[in-house]
């Protein structure tokens, strides 16, 4: 029997991962069910966490290669610093897009002024794998304010395109491959139709509950819904719901991921490990801390 293209291929429940200092994130990608969705190879939900006065998130300088980090917040504020000398705060509805390419180092911290009182932190960080031709490109950083990202609002559905193109709206963020990444809010009972414009599509339920007609199964917050290829996907809000829609075209080949490194070459990842261990990456101006190379040996994972 031919599979209904509008059906779910997988429902991924994120696993908890500790960033240190007791701050835990929900990691949906990579998972045992999927390594990637289009070029998206990593998806972490940060919070919602309430940080007590005097406290905050502190992720000291650490390296990346072969990917772009994509940071988007719902609440709170983070300060990005990197080895290019960029210092950039990010606030709700804004986009930080950092292209690691051949190698970059950055830190992410709660700004000092936010620590004076209790503060919330709530957002998503994704990694987008770079095409093979761009894996060794020069590192770069771009920030886009909330009012730069296109929005459409109609019939109980509000869509903001964070990156790529969807529903005729294109983000100003420069991407290296065909993809879409969007913030969708649906009022209870409202529907959204996701066209088959890309081979690989998914939705991450941030808040609320969602149905996929004609079925009656309800999917709740913290689930990554991976859709079948081809055909329109109908999403209906069981309650007020907020989703992140993401996907794109499949990458041209396999990707390896180890710690903060992504590459089409195992050897390149080994080189990056040695470079970080031996201090051959750049430095973040004004920062003396760093995250050491993990000594663990990751267990092999087979992805579909």
Mean of per-residue pLDDT scores for the chain: 93
Query: Which H/E stretch holds residue 16?
Result: strand 15-18
User: Residue 86 is encoded by which pair of tokens?
Assistant: 């960029």
The pLDDT-based confidence of 22 (bands split at 50, 70, 90) is low
Residue 179: helix, strand or coil by DSSP?
strand
Plot region of 259 (φ>0 → left; ψ -120 to 50 → alpha; else → beta): left
Q: How far apart are CA 179 and CA 227, in angstroms?
A: 15
Q: How far is CA 199 from CA 34, 196, 267, in A?
A: 15, 7, 30
Q: How confident is the model at residue 297 (pLDDT cuts 50, 70, 90)?
A: low
CA 122 to CA 242: how far, in whole Å? Answer: 13
Contact 106, 58 (CB under 8 A): no
Encoded tokens for 48: 């919602």
Q: For the residues 52-72, what does the mean pLDDT come to? A: 95
Which of 113, 105, 69 is CA-nearest to residue 86? 105
- pTM of model > 0.75: yes
pLDDT, tens digit, 9 for 90 and up, residues 183-214: 999 999 999 999 999 999 999 999 999 998 88
> Quick one: tokens of 206?
């941030």
């Amino acid at each position: 029997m031919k599979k209904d293209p509008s059906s779910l291929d997988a429902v991924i429940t994120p696993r908890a991962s500790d960033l240190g200092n007791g701050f835990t994130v929900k990691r949906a990608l990579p998972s045992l069910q999927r390594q990637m969705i289009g070029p998206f190879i990593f998806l972490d939900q940060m919070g919602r966490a309430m940080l007590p006065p005097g406290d905050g998130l502190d992720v000291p300088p650490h390296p990346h290669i072969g990917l772009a980090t994509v940071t988007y917040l719902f609440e709170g504020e983070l300060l990005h610093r990197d080895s290019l000398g960029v210092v950039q705060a990010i606030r709700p509805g804004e986009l930080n897009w950092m292209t690691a390419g051949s190698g970059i180092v950055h830190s992410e911290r709660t700004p000092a002024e936010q620590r004076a009182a209790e503060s919330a932190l709530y957002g998503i960080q994704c990694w987008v794998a770079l095409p093979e031709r761009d894996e060794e490109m020069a590192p770069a950083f771009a920030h886009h304010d909330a009012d730069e990202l296109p929005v459409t609002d109609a019939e109980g559905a509000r869509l903001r395109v964070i990156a790529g193109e969807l529903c005729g709206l294109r983000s100003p963020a420069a991407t290296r491959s065909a993809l879409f990444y969007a913030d969708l809010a649906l009022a209870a009972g409202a529907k959204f139709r996701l066209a088959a414009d890309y081979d690989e599509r998914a939705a991450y339920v941030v808040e609320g509950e969602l149905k996929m007609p004609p079925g009656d199964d309800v999917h709740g917050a913290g689930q990554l819904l991976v859709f079948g290829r081809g055909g329109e996907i109908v999403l209906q809000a069981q309650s007020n719901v907020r989703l992140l829609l993401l996907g794109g075209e499949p990458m041209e080949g396999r990707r390896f991921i180890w710690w903060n490194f992504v590459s089409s070459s195992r050897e390149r990842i080994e080189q990056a490990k040695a470079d970080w261990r031996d201090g051959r990456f750049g430095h973040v101006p004004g920062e003396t801390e760093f995250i050491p190379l993990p000594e663990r040996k990751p267990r092999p994972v087979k992805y579909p």
